[in-house]
Chains A and B, each alone.
Chain A
Amino acid sequence: AQTVTQSQPEMSVQEAETVTLSCTYDTSESDYYLFWYKQPPSRQMILVIRQEAYKQQNATENRFSVNFQKAAKSFSLKISDSQLGDAAMYFCAYRSRNSGNTPLVFGKGTRLSVIA
């Protein structure tokens, strides 16, 4: 079974600085999606960024980018120019593209605090 590990339960960053959240996963498959989701306090969970495993190029979305290392099974999220609104729980997730109908596998989350 696939697993997703987020080894940092909590992180903090100064406003305008850069922070990297770690995620590793375990799978024997070669074709899959990886996701980072953001859950602000008392607000709806939203997708931050998605990476398709067959794409070598790292995904970017404005201030958010990933470092996807397929061989190492690592998928870290970098937030540049951190803003107060980035404070949230961040969840890393995995989905197979080959195993039929399988739900997302989520990590346990990293709580990010942004210090003004």
Chain B
Amino acid sequence: EADIYQTPRYLVIGTGKKITLECSQTMGHDKMYWYQQDPGMELHLIHYSYGVNSTEKGDLSSESTVSRIRTEHFPLTLESARPSHTSQYLCASGDWAEQFFGPGTRLTVL
């Protein structure tokens, strides 16, 4: 079992709310990633980081933002949630040879 954690695991929230999805890893990895995935579908990279104070946008345009102030922590924030944000969000960390995934946060925006 990889040491990468995501909270909350499930979140139901109303439109317009600000939310932060937490991701932490204890493996000391510099590289961390956020993916959006509808159930049973392909992965879409939305943000990644290669170290503290480094963040990049991924392939999928996203209204979310991320920060990387500490190596082990890579939170994702939605300033104003909308129903179109309903999805599963996967966090991952790794090195060149392997990438470990967290259990995911299933977000529903009403």
Chain A interface residues (CB < 8 Å from chain B)? 33, 35, 37, 43-47, 50, 89, 91, 95, 97, 101, 103-104, 106-109, 111
- CB A46 to nearest CB in B, in angstroms, measures 7
Contact indicator A95/B96 (Cβ below 8 Å): yes
- CB A3 to nearest CB in B, in angstroms, measures 12
Once the chains are docked, how many angstroms separate the CA of A101 from the CA of B32?
Answer: 11
How many A-B contacts if CB must be within 8 Å?
42
Q: In chain B, what residue has the closest Cβ to A52?
A: B97
Say what secondary structure dominates the interface of chain B: loop
- CB A23 to nearest CB in B, in angstroms, measures 13
Contact indicator B50/A45 (Cβ below 8 Å): no
Contact indicator B42/A44 (Cβ below 8 Å): no
Of B67-75, B79-87, B98-106, the one contacting chain A is B98-106
Contact indicator B50/A101 (Cβ below 8 Å): yes
Instruction: Give 21 A-B contacts (CB < 8 Å), ordered by A residue.
Output: A33-B96, A35-B98, A44-B101, A44-B104, A46-B2, A46-B101, A47-B98, A47-B100, A50-B97, A50-B98, A89-B40, A97-B96, A101-B31, A101-B50, A103-B45, A103-B48, A103-B58, A104-B99, A106-B43, A109-B42, A111-B40
Within 8 A of A (CB), among B6-36: 31, 33
Once the chains are docked, how many angstroms separate the CA of A101 from the CA of B104?
Answer: 24
User: Which B residues lie within 8 Å of A103 (CB)?
Assistant: 33, 45, 48, 58
B90 touches A (CB below 8 Å): yes
Once the chains are docked, how many angstroms separate the CA of A37 from the CA of B43?
Answer: 12
Once the chains are docked, how many angstroms separate the CA of A48 from the CA of B102?
Answer: 16
Once the chains are docked, how many angstroms separate the CA of A115 from the CA of B31?
Answer: 38
